[in-house]
Amino acid sequence: MKIALGSDHAGFLLKESVVEYLRAAELSYKDFGVSSEESVDYPDIAVSVVNAVQAGECEFGILICGTGIGMTITANKHRGIRAALCSEAYSARCAREHNDANVLTMGSRVIGPGLAVDVVESFLKASFDGGRHARRLEKISLIEKQMVEMKKTDGNNR
């Protein structure tokens, strides 16, 4: 399992705690930055992480910003990406079991390092339950396909 990891300046320190956990757990990861608390725009980092997941280079992504909201909004604009903003372990587990989430997002101004590591661990240890949940995800995929079709039609009408 390889994890794509990224944060903006606000999430940098919490990302370092996640890196520490991943190292200790001997989990493979690729860090897409940032490497300091110098101000950046969170969509730039989110896109890099999400591209690695979409390309299959990494199985999961973890994105951290101040609230986790900007990273979540950006990540979920991408086809096939299911990003879940989690602040406790139960939601993180369900995000995998029910939603087959492939990106975990967290807010560094919302949770501390201990809780964040719990959240990451729950997310990574859980697996998708399938069954009725798969049927629901198919409906989400259908919405994505319809959006692609709408864009094509829109382009043809110009």
Residue in 14, 50, 65, 95 binding ligand RB5, rule: CB under 6 A: 65
Name all contacts of 16-24 with Cβ < 8 Å and 24+ positions apart.
17/113, 17/116, 17/117, 18/62, 18/64, 18/116, 18/117, 18/120, 21/117, 21/120, 21/121, 22/120
Residue 98 annotated among the catalytic residues of the structure: yes
* Count of residues engaged in binding ligand RB5, rule: CB under 6 A: 8
Among 53-61, 64-72, 89-97, 111-119, which window interacts with ligand RB5 (CB under 6 A)?
64-72
Whichever of 2 and 78 has its CB closer to ligand RB5, that residue is 78
Q: Restricting to residues 38-57, which ones interact with ligand RB5 according to CB under 6 A?
A: 42
Q: Which residues are catalytic?
A: 65, 98
